[in-house]
């Protein structure tokens, strides 16, 4: 092969390898996004169960102390849920940013 032709061939091979690496990275990000969506679905299910348990706790605990415990548990659960949602959204944004970066390159 001519030197110019060999250089072009090597450049094409490098571009092909880089493209394959980026495709692999995009695939990995897509898998993480799918896992995140699955996790969100599971968390919504858990949230519904938690709400049912809190409602039952309000029904069962009649006295002032019981109500206080139920409301404290409810507040703690809501705070934990809020923090978890914030973390999930942060993860989603990070994955989307990584995906955009890879696609733009």
The whole-number average pLDDT for the span 69-77 is: 79
pLDDT of residue 64: 64
Whether the per-residue pLDDT at 91 is higher than 80: the answer is yes
Supply the DSSP symbol for 60: H
User: pTM higher than 0.85 for the full model?
Assistant: no
pLDDT of residue 65: 63
Whether the per-residue pLDDT at 87 is higher than 80: the answer is yes
Q: What is the pLDDT of residues 9-62, one digit of tens each?
A: 999 999 999 999 999 999 999 999 999 999 999 988 988 988 888 777 777 766
What distances in angstroms separate CA 40 from CA 17, 34, 45, 70, one per listed residue? Answer: 35, 10, 9, 25
pLDDT of residue 69: 73
Q: Where do the domains of the chain lie?
A: 1-66, 69-104
Q: Does residue 58 contact residue 72 with C-beta atoms inside 8 Å?
A: no
Q: Which residues contact 63 (CB under 8 A, 6 or more apart)?
A: none
């Amino acid at each position: 092969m001519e030197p110019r032709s060999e250089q072009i061939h090597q450049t094409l091979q490098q571009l092909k390898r880089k493209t394959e690496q980026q495709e692999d990275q995009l695939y990995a990000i897509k898998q993480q996004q799918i896992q995140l969506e699955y996790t969100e679905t599971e968390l919504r299910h858990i949230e519904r169960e938690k709400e049912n348990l809190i409602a039952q706790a309000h029904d069962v605990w009649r006295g002032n102390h019981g109500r206080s415990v139920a409301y404290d548990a409810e507040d703690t659960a809501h705070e934990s849920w809020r923090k978890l949602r914030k973390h999930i959204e942060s993860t989603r944004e990070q994955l989307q940013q990584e995906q955009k970066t890879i696609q733009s390159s």
